[in-house]
Amino acid sequence: MIWNKLLGEFIDVIEWTDDSNDTLVYRFERHGNEIKYGAQLTVRESQVAVFVSQGRIADVFEPGMYTLGTQNMPIFTTLESWPHGFQSPFKAEVYFVNTRRFTDLKWGTKHPITLRDKEFGPVRLRAFGTYVIRIKDPVVFLKEIVGTDGYFTVDEVSDQLRNLIASDFARVIGEASIPVLDLAANYDDLGTFLTNAMTSAFAQYGLELTRLLIENISLPPAVEAALDKRTSMGVIGDLRQYSQFQAAEAMAAAAANPSGTAAAGVGMGMGIGMAKQMTEAMGAGAAASSTAPATPPPLPGGQTYFVAIDGKQAGPFDMNTLRGHAASGTLTRDTLVWSQGMANWIRAGDVEDLTGLFTSVPPPLPPS
């Protein structure tokens, strides 16, 4: 103990070289916290040295080299009595604060976030990504987070920071009302918005959130499986051609494996039969849709006729329409007509179904 005390008084260089990648704060160890008057303090770039005396923060040193004395420690000298002519060792704790950026820190939602989507209805989302922080106010960070911890790492505060990010992410994503399928196109904008929105929350701990990245926002597995099926249907396209392709693939596989053909013959036959039925059904539906008339056909049982009017074909007309033409004189006994089943055009007066149309109309005058 005596030897350590003597060595502590002779050592007059105070510095810290960080050989880790996750240390935020390091307390410089001295025997009995005694620092020799006139000691050399070296503060490197991306560091700040904080002196604590009698439980209070006394001085903060930016990067540079200092000789510790009353001229550059005005706050400290008001706390210390310096009873020995400013020459004896004084007691103080020196904390080195790492001010560089700490990158690739992970965040994510522990539990799904329930949202209401316009297309899918209520959905549950999970998200994860990375963020970057640095210590902006060393004094606040020491007071609010570190306390008297002599070796403080990122892991000791990362859980709290992840909770802050997840909470704000849930709020922002809920207020944004962005459709689920459009979220991927807005990752950058959401990350920038979250970074700016969380400035004050991180500042309360003396930290600065310099950047936040959203790597993925995912749906539940069941919803993703349904989307995959929907996508597969779009990729398949024409189901009739796809069924034919599947049947051809099955036949090719059977031909390439003769030893298993007999055992798989029944199953392959059923598959080909089903594919044939599907093809015929879809083919018939496609043919029907391509040849369907633009107007509905006449009612069943009603005979229709084409009529020659002014040397041009008109119709087909049903009996009610023909009756009107007969009353107006457009259709006469000598007008040529044609209907399904007739070999040639014939006079309307010679068609048995049409003779009733002319009972109230006098026949043409006999030739003089």
Q: What is the pLDDT of residues 68-97, one digit of tens each?
A: 765 555 445 444 544 444 444 667 889 999
Domain boundary residue, one of 98, 128, 155: 98
Q: Are residues 187 and 233 in the same domain?
A: no
CATH number assigned to the domain comprising residue 192: 3.30.479.30
Q: Is residue 232 part of a domain?
A: yes
Domain boundary residue, one of 168, 195, 219: 219
Q: Is residue 57 part of a domain?
A: yes
Q: Give the mean model confidence (pLDDT) for residues 232-245.
A: 64
Q: Are residues 94 and 63 in the same domain?
A: yes
Residues 6+ apart with CB under 8 A from 330: 307, 309
Residues 6+ apart with CB under 8 A from 66: 40, 41, 42, 43, 72
Phi then psi for 141, rounded to 5 degrees? Answer: -65, -45
Longest dimension (CA), the chain: 160
Check residue 49 and give its pLDDT.
95
CA distance 124 to 113: 5
Tokens 């119709």 found at: 315
pLDDT digit string, tens, across residues 114-132: 888 888 888 899 999 999 9
Q: Are residues 92 and 133 in the same domain?
A: no
Query: What stretch of H or E contains 125?
Result: strand 121-135
Q: Is residue 300 part of a domain?
A: no
Q: Number of structural domains, the chain?
A: 4
Q: Are residues 89 and 110 in the same domain?
A: no
pLDDT digit string, tens, across residues 173-224: 988 888 888 888 999 999 999 999 999 999 999 999 999 999 999 887 877 7
User: Of 130, 131, 125, nearest to 217 (Cα)?
Assistant: 125
Domain boundary residue, one of 201, 219, 237: 219
pLDDT digit string, tens, across residues 6-39: 444 445 788 999 888 899 999 998 766 677 777 8
Q: Identify the DSSP state of 343.
A: S
pLDDT band at 324 (very low <50, low <70, confident <90, very high): confident
Given a cut of 50, whether residue 3 has pLDDT beyond it is no
39 contacts 13 by C-beta, under 8 angstroms: yes
Q: Are residues 142 and 83 in the same domain?
A: no
Domain span at residue 199 reads: 102-219
Q: Is residue 264 part of a domain?
A: no
Instruction: Classify residue 65 as exposed, middle or buried by CB count within 10 Å of its CB (0-12, 13-18, 19+).
Output: exposed
Q: Are residues 239 and 131 in the same domain?
A: no
Q: Are residues 60 and 114 in the same domain?
A: no
Residues 6+ apart with CB under 8 A from 56: 79
Structure tokens belonging to residue 258: 């003769």
Q: Are residues 106 and 179 in the same domain?
A: yes
CA separation, residue 134 to residues 25, 130, 334 (Å): 12, 14, 104
User: Of 165, 148, 149, nearest to 202 (Cα)?
Assistant: 165
Q: Is residue 14 part of a domain?
A: yes
Q: Are residues 160 and 108 in the same domain?
A: yes
Q: Is residue 262 part of a domain?
A: no
Q: Is residue 298 part of a domain?
A: no
Tokens 């996508």 found at: 231
Q: Is residue 296 part of a domain?
A: no
Per the model's pLDDT, the better-predicted residue between 86 and 256 turns out to be 256
